[in-house]
Amino acid sequence: MIEYLKQIKITELNVKNVKDHLPSDPTEEAKALADYTAAGIKLHAAGTIYFAKDEESDIKEKFEYCKRAGISVIVAGDPTPETLPRIEKFVKEYNTRIAIHNHGPEDKLWPSPLDILKSLKGTDPRIGCCIDVGHTVRAGTDVVKAIHEVGPRLYNVHMKDLADFQNKESQVAVGDGMMPVRQIFEALIAIKYDGFVDLEYEINGDNPMPGVSESFAYMRGVLAGMGYANHG
């Protein structure tokens, strides 16, 4: 994976707590971190990480994992509203942001980032959203308006493209589908978003690099056309 990242000139990465990304075992994690550092790759977020248990030990373990890696944003998958107070405790203790990830119409808790936003009232400002643009449009939410509404609570973006906003299985390379990519970037710039837009390319697992390269080329081209230099 590191060699692929070098080929497409990516130096920042959102990792998952799995064996071939950033293992959660401390010893294996340290080895992976050394490899990333040697390659000049900085880890800016971890996730999607699932908070399935409302237990201090389980939650603390995930925050410790990110602390060891120097990661300041945890992309959280489906924490229940009842778990948020316990998570908030560790957000304050570790000074780490939590970006709750929406998962579309199949998600009973957080189908849209607007559903997440409703549950954040009164919580620590370091608890916010990761907007997955594909799941957002499938939930029937205008993704550009959602970015504006979430505003300062937006801490991560997962980018993908779909040929059909009603069909989860219609993912294509970014630029080949219906996603309003330029308008998404315009909205992020308008809210002064200071985080990352992470490509989440979930198709063609046996040969993903052509689609990944095409996706980055398209997004870089959109940004160049808007007058922004290419920063990866």
Q: DSSP per residue over the chain, as a string?
A: -HHHHHHTT--EEEE-SSTTT--SSHHHHHHHHHHHHHTT-EEEEEEEEE-----HHHHHHHHHHHHHHT--EEEEE---TTTHHHHHHHHHHHT-EEEEEP-GGG-SS-SSHHHHHHTTTTS-TTEEEEEEHHHHHHTT--HHHHHHHHGGGEEEEEE-EES-TT-GGGEE-TTSSS--HHHHHHHHHHTT--S-EEE---S-TTS-HHHHHHHHHHHHHHHHHTT-----
- Binned at pLDDT 50, 70 and 90, residue 230 comes out as low
Asked if 136 contacts 102 with a C-beta cutoff of 8 angstroms, the reply is yes
> Residue 59 and residue 82: Cα distance in Å, rounded?
13
**Amino acid identity for residue 18 in this structure:** V
Q: Is the pLDDT of residue 222 over 90?
A: yes
> Residue 139 and residue 160: Cα distance in Å, rounded?
15
> In the prediction, which pLDDT does 231 show?
54
When the pLDDT of each residue in the chain is averaged and rounded to a whole number, the result is 95
Taking alpha carbons only, the member of 147, 180, 141 closest to residue 161 is: 180
Domains delineated in the chain: 2-225 (3.20.20.150)
> In the prediction, which pLDDT does 212 show?
97
- Binned at pLDDT 50, 70 and 90, residue 232 comes out as low
Asked if 64 contacts 93 with a C-beta cutoff of 8 angstroms, the reply is no
- Binned at pLDDT 50, 70 and 90, residue 78 comes out as confident
> Residue 25 and residue 188: Cα distance in Å, rounded?
35
Please give the structure tokens belonging to residue 133: 């643009």
Angle between helix 181-190 and helix 143-150 axes, rounded to 10 deg: 10
- Binned at pLDDT 50, 70 and 90, residue 150 comes out as very high
pTM above 0.85, yes or no: yes
Asked if 161 contacts 173 with a C-beta cutoff of 8 angstroms, the reply is yes
